[in-house]
């Protein structure tokens, strides 16, 4: 590592700027996965995504992500997880956290200021806690400040050993700790703020004298204290924020905490969640006030729920938009749009491109794909609507199918149904076909030719269409038939 012409403390005295190094090169061997650990999903985002979201509002001067295994994949995903510009550094060989910090530090170039170091696998960390750590570091003018937490069960974490005056004396990894040291409940979060000059100087003196034969970042404490530098600790009031994810078991444990946090945020914003323990909401979901979520509701991706909606039970919505006052019960929707006051379910499947206009209905055992169901129109039950455009105030009888696939060329053809149409039960609409405004099909009809407005079609394709008969008007008193 090349030395710089900075002296420890210079950045502390003349700069409030800071940079971030995110350590995301860990292999995650305990996941037993072909996917890098930091890319495993948690409540709608990769582990790394939650960390970058917490960092983003801090407006760091520069953010470096240290990557290792599957570096190109991690880079590609990370760039889409934040609006901030990211730089990347590669740790080709896993030699420990101090080595990763060194590689990240070198990528900072001529930056002069404080350096925040954050692991990429602590998804519960919050912006508020990181800001409090930075503020503590600036106020104390320390060479280093570590974020700590008090855990009832500190198993697996490095223990923070303090002097009799409360200063940080050292941090010892569990594998290297004595029995007495293991009884300590204050643990290292692996989140640090360093004066950069102090960090660079200390990193050059760290050796692999431990059970794991790695360069430990925690060893900077002893190095800095030997030089007479001040090492501070800031204890977070929310100990779960520092929980790391090193296995799928820990991923499940942290996911439960994250779901509860997300549910509480929505409930405090005016959403009723009947049973948060059985409701699954991604961090990216938006829900309007006075909406109610029933048990076994799953809301994923960029799903947006309007105000005063009734969602669930047994609903899964992925990247779906739901308008105000809509009702969705026992249904699955993927990349669909459900309009205001629309009704969906029970047992409904809305596939990508399904659009229900205001007041429309897709009912029991109805599947809709790449189709628009117009304002006030209803597909109440037992129907498949694919590649169709349905106008306003249309009623689709039970068992109706839009036959959009010809079986030979693979081409999907479109069915167009005008306003005020009545489609009889068990009608087969063989696309491409158009049904004019106010037309009617009889039960069991197979429609393979266009139906003009106001006409009635019945039976097999060869049967002609005939003019729709208007409803008889009531006779006036004293009127006689001729």
Name, in order, each residue with C-beta under 8 angstroms of 249's C-beta and a sequence gap of 6 or more. Answer: none
Structure tokens at 288: 């309007």
CATH of the domain at 49: 3.90.550.10
234, 266, 300, 381: the catalytic one is: 381
Cα distance between residue 255 and residue 251, in whole Å: 6
Shared domain check, 274 and 229: no
Whether residue 450 contacts residue 434, with contact meaning beta carbons closer than 8 Å, is answered with yes
Number of domains present in the structure of the chain: 2
Shared domain check, 216 and 145: yes
Residue 259 counted as domain residue: no
pLDDT for position 173: 87
Shared domain check, 183 and 93: yes
Residue 342 counted as domain residue: yes
Name, in order, each residue with C-beta under 8 angstroms of 186's C-beta and a sequence gap of 6 or more. Answer: 148, 149, 150, 154, 159, 160, 162, 235
Shared domain check, 451 and 381: yes
Shared domain check, 186 and 140: yes
Structure tokens at 339: 């309009």
Cα distance between residue 11 and residue 340, in whole Å: 56
Name, in order, each residue with C-beta under 8 angstroms of 10's C-beta and a sequence gap of 6 or more. Answer: 112, 197
Shared domain check, 305 and 402: yes
Backbone dihedral region of 8: left (phi > 0), alpha (psi from -120 to 50 degrees) or beta? beta
pLDDT for position 28: 84
Shared domain check, 198 and 50: yes
pLDDT for position 10: 39
Residue 289 counted as domain residue: yes
- Tens-binned pLDDT, residue by residue, of the chain (482 aa): 333 333 334 334 334 689 999 999 988 889 999 999 999 999 999 999 999 999 999 999 999 999 998 999 999 999 999 999 999 999 999 899 999 999 999 999 999 999 999 999 999 999 999 999 999 999 999 999 999 999 999 998 999 999 887 789 999 988 889 999 999 999 999 999 999 999 999 999 998 877 777 898 999 999 999 999 999 999 999 999 999 999 999 999 999 999 999 999 999 999 999 999 999 999 999 999 999 999 999 999 999 999 999 999 999 999 999 999 999 999 999 999 999 999 999 999 999 999 999 999 999 999 999 999 999 999 999 999 999 999 999 999 999 999 998 766 678 899 999 999 999 999 999 999 999 999 999 999 999 999 999 999 998 763 556 666 665 555 555 544 43
Shared domain check, 389 and 276: yes
Structure tokens at 115: 């350096």
Residue 409: exposed, middle, or buried by beta-carbon count in 10 A (0-12, 13-18, 19+)?
exposed
Residue 16 counted as domain residue: yes
pLDDT for position 128: 97
Q: CA angle, corner 36, sides to 32 and 39, nearest 5?
A: 120
Q: What are phi and psi of 296, to 5 degrees?
A: 60, 35
Cα distance between residue 468 and residue 213, in whole Å: 87
Q: Taking the model in full, what pTM does it have?
A: 0.88
Residue 394 counted as domain residue: yes
> What's the domain range around 218?
10-242
Shared domain check, 294 and 213: no
Tell me whether residue 381 is one of the annotated catalytic residues: yes
Residue 258 counted as domain residue: no
Q: What are phi and psi of 97, to 5 degrees?
A: -70, -35
Shared domain check, 347 and 225: no
Shared domain check, 190 and 53: yes
Residue 292 counted as domain residue: yes
Shared domain check, 338 and 213: no
Cα distance between residue 315 and residue 251, in whole Å: 24
pLDDT for position 8: 38
Residue 3: exposed, middle, or buried by beta-carbon count in 10 A (0-12, 13-18, 19+)?
exposed
In the Cβ-directed half-sphere of 2, how many Cα atoms lie within 13 Å?
A: 7
- 370-404 as b/e, with b when 16 or more CB fall inside 10 Å? bbbbbbbbbbbbbbbbbbbbbbbbbbbbbbbbbbb
Residue 411 counted as domain residue: yes
Q: Does a cis peptide bond (omega within 30 degrees of 0) precede residue 346?
A: yes
* Residues, the chain: 482
CATH of the domain at 458: 2.160.10.10
Whether residue 54 contacts residue 242, with contact meaning beta carbons closer than 8 Å, is answered with no
């Amino acid at each position: 590592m090349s030395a710089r012409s900075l002296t420890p403390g210079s950045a502390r005295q003349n700069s409030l700027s800071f940079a971030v190094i995110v350590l995301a090169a860990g292999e995650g061997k305990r996941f037993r996965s072909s996917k890098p650990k930091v890319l495993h999903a948690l409540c709608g985002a990769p582990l790394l995504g939650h960390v970058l979201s917490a960092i983003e509002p801090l407006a760091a001067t520069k953010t470096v992500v240290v990557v290792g295994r599957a570096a190109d994949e991690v880079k590609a995903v990370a760039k889409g997880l934040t609006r901030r510009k990211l730089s990347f550094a590669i740790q080709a060989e896993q030699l420990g956290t101090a080595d990763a910090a060194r590689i990240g530090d070198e990528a900072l170039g001529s930056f002069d200021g404080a350096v925040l170091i954050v692991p990429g696998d602590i998804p519960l960390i919050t912006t508020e806690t990181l800001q409090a750590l930075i503020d503590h570091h600036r106020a104390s003018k320390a060479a280093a400040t570590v974020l700590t937490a008090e855990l009832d069960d500190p198993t697996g974490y490095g223990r923070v050993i303090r002097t009799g005056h409360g200063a940080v004396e050292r941090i010892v990894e569990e594998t290297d700790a004595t029995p007495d040291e293991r009884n300590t409940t204050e643990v290292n979060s692996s989140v640090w703020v360093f004066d950069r000059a102090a960090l660079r100087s200390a990193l050059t003196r760290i050796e692999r004298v431990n059970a794991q034969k790695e360069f430990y970042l925690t060893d900077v404490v002893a190095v800095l204290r030997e030089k007479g530098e001040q090492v501070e600790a800031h204890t977070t009031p929310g100990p779960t924020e520092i929980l790391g994810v090193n296995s799928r078991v820990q991923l499940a444990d942290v996911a439960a905490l994250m779901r509860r946090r997300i549910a509480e945020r929505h409930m405090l914003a005016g959403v009723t969640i009947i049973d948060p323990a059985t409701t699954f909401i991604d961090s990216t979901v938006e829900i309007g006030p006075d909406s109610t979520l029933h048990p076994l509701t799953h809301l994923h991706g960029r799903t947006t729920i309007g105000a005063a909606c009734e969602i669930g039970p047994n609903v899964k919505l992925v990247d779906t938009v739901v308008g105000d006052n809509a009702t969705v019960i026992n249904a699955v929707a993927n990349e669909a749009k459900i309009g205001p006051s629309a009704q969906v379910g029970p047992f409904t499947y809305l596939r990508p491109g399904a659009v229900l206009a205001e007041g429309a209905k897709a009912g029991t055992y109805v599947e809709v794909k790449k189709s628009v169901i117009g304002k006030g129109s209803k597909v109440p039950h037992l129907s498949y609507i694919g590649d169709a455009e349905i106008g306003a105030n249309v009623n689709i009888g039970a068992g109706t199918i839009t036959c959009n696939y010809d079986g030979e060329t693979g081409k999907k053809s479109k069915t167009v149904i005008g306003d005020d149409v009545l489609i009889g039960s068990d009608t087969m609409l063989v696309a491409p076909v158009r049904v004019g405004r106010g037309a009617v099909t009889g039960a069991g009809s197979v429609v393979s030719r266009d139906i003009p407005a106001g006409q009635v079609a019945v039976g097999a394709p060869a049967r002609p269409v005939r003019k729709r008969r208007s409803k008889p008007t009531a006779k006036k008193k004293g009127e006689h038939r001729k």
